């Protein structure tokens, strides 16, 4: 392989479905994707919480294209592993999962990252495919299902760059976050999913999450390596970590992708006893 060929491998791949839109480069996919995950089982006994009414609300992104600073578009969505593997744990523990998008439009996935040989991810996709293809409208969930006696124990916001567009500007997302905080429900998110937390400060002098600690995808990667290796076709329109910190949120994982997790607050005994071990 020539040096020129290796350099071309780092060029983002054009997405033929949209003008000036791109998938990640072949080289970046070789570094960031694999046919299987490192899933090694769930922490709870399978079905331990089955047979009850309790559900988890997944707020997924319906956005495909993220406009970059150089006017290219990143062909993105929800990351399949960062969506389906957490939901695999939740389903296997016995909880029901519902899916909602802002308008009820189908969920978008970064299908180029789907681990095609991973049975846990495949099983979860098969179980939830219809809900992702025909999700609920988030406003309808708020109106009809988030009362004082709601069946939802938790809100889950998946990872993937798709979360960077739409969720942070949504008053419906703000309403769900307000409800979760008021009712002491769990909010579970990862990677770029914490972008949704920025909706909590819309129209307010400060965020109700100010002083909280979270893990999020590091800005150092999105501003540096992800551009250099062609994972992104240009620089991000804004950086997640900086925006979270501007809202008074502490980043527990700093500038590194370490696989770290953190938990801040959440005192509902029923929620904690069930979901923290899932």
Tell which residue, 193, 215, 205, has the closest CA to residue 247.
205
Distance in angstroms (rounded) separating the CA atoms of residues 227 and 221: 8
Is 215 annotated in the active site? no
Tell me which of 191, 215, 268, 271 is the catalytic residue: 191
Cα distance between residue 167 and residue 165, in whole Å: 6
Question: C-alpha angle with apex 219: 216 to 224, nearest 5 degrees?
Answer: 140
Sign of the dihedral defined by the CA atoms of residues 192, 194, 200, 204, in that order: negative
Pick from 174, 226, 221, 178: nearest CA to 195: 174
Q: Among positive and negative, which fits the CA dihedral 52, 53, 59, 60?
A: positive
Catalytic residues: 191
């Amino acid at each position: 392989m020539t040096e020129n060929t290796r350099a071309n491998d780092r060029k983002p791949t054009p997405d033929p479905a949209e003008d000036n839109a791109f998938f990640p480069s072949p080289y970046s996919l070789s570094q960031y994707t694999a046919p299987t995950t490192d899933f090694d089982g769930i922490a709870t006994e399978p079905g331990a919480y089955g047979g009850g009414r309790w559900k988890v609300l997944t707020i997924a992104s319906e956005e495909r294209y993220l406009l970059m600073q150089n006017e290219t578009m990143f062909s993105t969505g929800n990351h399949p592993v960062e969506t389906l593997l957490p939901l695999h744990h939740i389903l296997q523990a016995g909880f029901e999962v519902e899916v909602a998008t802002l308008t009820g439009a189908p969920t978008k996935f970064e299908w180029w990252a789907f681990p095609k040989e991973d049975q846990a991810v495949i099983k979860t996709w098969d179980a939830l495919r219809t809900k992702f293809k025909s999700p609920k409208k988030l406003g309808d969930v708020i109106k009809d299902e988030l009362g004082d006696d709601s069946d939802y124990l938790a809100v889950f916001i998946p990872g993937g760059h798709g979360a960077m567009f739409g969720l942070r500007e949504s008053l419906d997302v703000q309403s769900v976050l307000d409800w979760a905080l008021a009712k002491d429900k769990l909010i579970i998110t990862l990677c770029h999913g914490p972008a949704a937390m920025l909706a909590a400060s819309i129209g307010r002098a400060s965020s109700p999450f100010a002083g909280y600690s979270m893990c999020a995808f590091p800005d150092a990667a999105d501003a540096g390596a992800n551009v250099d290796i062609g994972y992104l076709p240009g620089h991000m329109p804004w950086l997640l970590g900086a925006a979270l910190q501007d809202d008074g949120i502490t980043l527990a994982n700093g500038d590194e992708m370490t696989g770290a997790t953190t938990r801040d607050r959440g005192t509902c005994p029923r929620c904690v006893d069930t979901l923290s071990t899932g």
